[in-house]
Each structure stands twice: as structure tokens, then as C-alpha cells.
Amino acid sequence: MLRSCISKKCLGQHVLGLSLLFAAPFAFAAPAIDVHSDPNCGCCGAWVAHLEENGFDVNHHRDGDVRQVKIEQGVTPKLASCHTAIIDGYVIEGHVPADDIKALLDERPDVAGLAVPGMPHGSPGMETGRVDDFAVLSFTRDNRAPEIFREYTQ
Ligand SMILES: [Cu+2]
């Protein structure tokens, strides 16, 4: 492929491409994620730690009005959990596993975002010792019913 390069700029792009290729297994380069939560929410902080352990660059806003964020982002009471996050135009509601956020950013489906309603035991940030089945739902801003994005069963 380098043979097709006739300008320095083009060669530079190839080198950049190669360096990204080599960097990929070691670093996950996602846009920053903005997490909104109540200041006293412990499991929200534990979920943020889970994201950071998985390579996410997290801006944790602990002083925001989370309910207002949910209304603005189309998170209905049925979908709601403790924290609401936004990454690259998608809404992430509740204890969604980092891998599912990566899959969302990779696949880019036509949805508003992902949600794990409530706070299921055993989901990331909810390590209580008890492990329940839970599902990650994808949802839209219209009246379509949420769909199952991924299921976690024992
Ligand atoms: Cu929680």
C-alpha cells in the first residue's frame, strides 16, 4: 500500500493508520463519557470505576439534577436507574456493562441508547454478593418498545 503513496501527507496517513492498528489491542479510544448521578450514590461511583478499568475516559458529574437529565434524554420511568450517562450522542442508563457500550459504539444502531432498568444485583457496580439475571435494553425516543440488546443469565 505504501507504493501508492506519492505525497508526504499520504505516507503520514499510512504511518498514522499503522500506529492506530498497533495501539488498538492496548488502548480503547472512545469519546469521553459524561456520567450524571446524585452526589451520594455509591453504586454510581462503582460503575464509573468499572468504566475506567475498561479504558473509558469518564467525566463524573455528581452535582447534576439527574431526573432532569433523564427527562431531557428520553429515559422513561420504566427504563430508569440511578445514573444517566451520555457518550457520543448515545444515552447509557444504569449499570450497563462496559463491553455493551463498546459494542454499541462499534455497531452504531439507530437507537437512543442502552438501559439496565433498576439496579440488578451482579451488574457492574452492583457487586453485592448476589447475582441476578438481567438484560441490557436498547430504546428509542419514539413509542417503540425497548428491545433486548444483551442478556446476562446464570
Ligand atoms: Cu446504581
What pLDDT is recorded for position 94? Answer: 98
Distance 10 CA to ligand 1 centre (A): 48
Centroid of ligand 1 to alpha carbon of 107 (angstroms): 26
What values do phi and psi take at 95, rounded to 5? -85, 60
Q: How far is the CA of 45 from the centre of ligand 1 (A)?
A: 8
**pLDDT for residue 27:** 59
The set of cell numbers assigned to 53 is 478499568
The SS3 call for residue 35 is: strand
| Cα 154 to ligand 1 centroid, rounded to whole Å | 20
My answer on whether 15 and 75 are in the same domain is no
Same domain, 55 and 120: yes
| Judgement on whether residues 146 and 122 belong to the same structural domain of the protein | yes
Among 132, 133, 92, 98, residue whose Cα is nearest residue 115:
92
- Output the CA torsion 125→126→130→134 (10° steps): -100
The parent domain of residue 2 ranges over 1-30
Quick one: 51 and 35 in the same domain?
yes
Single-letter code of the amino acid located at 86: I
Mean pLDDT by 10 residues, the chain (154 residues): 45 49 58 95 97 97 91 96 98 98 97 98 98 98 94 94
The pLDDT assigned to 64 comes to: 74
Q: Which residues surround ligand 1, an ion (CB under 5 A)?
A: 43, 82, 119
The candidate with the shortest Cα–Cα distance to 32, out of 50, 62, 52, 53, is 52
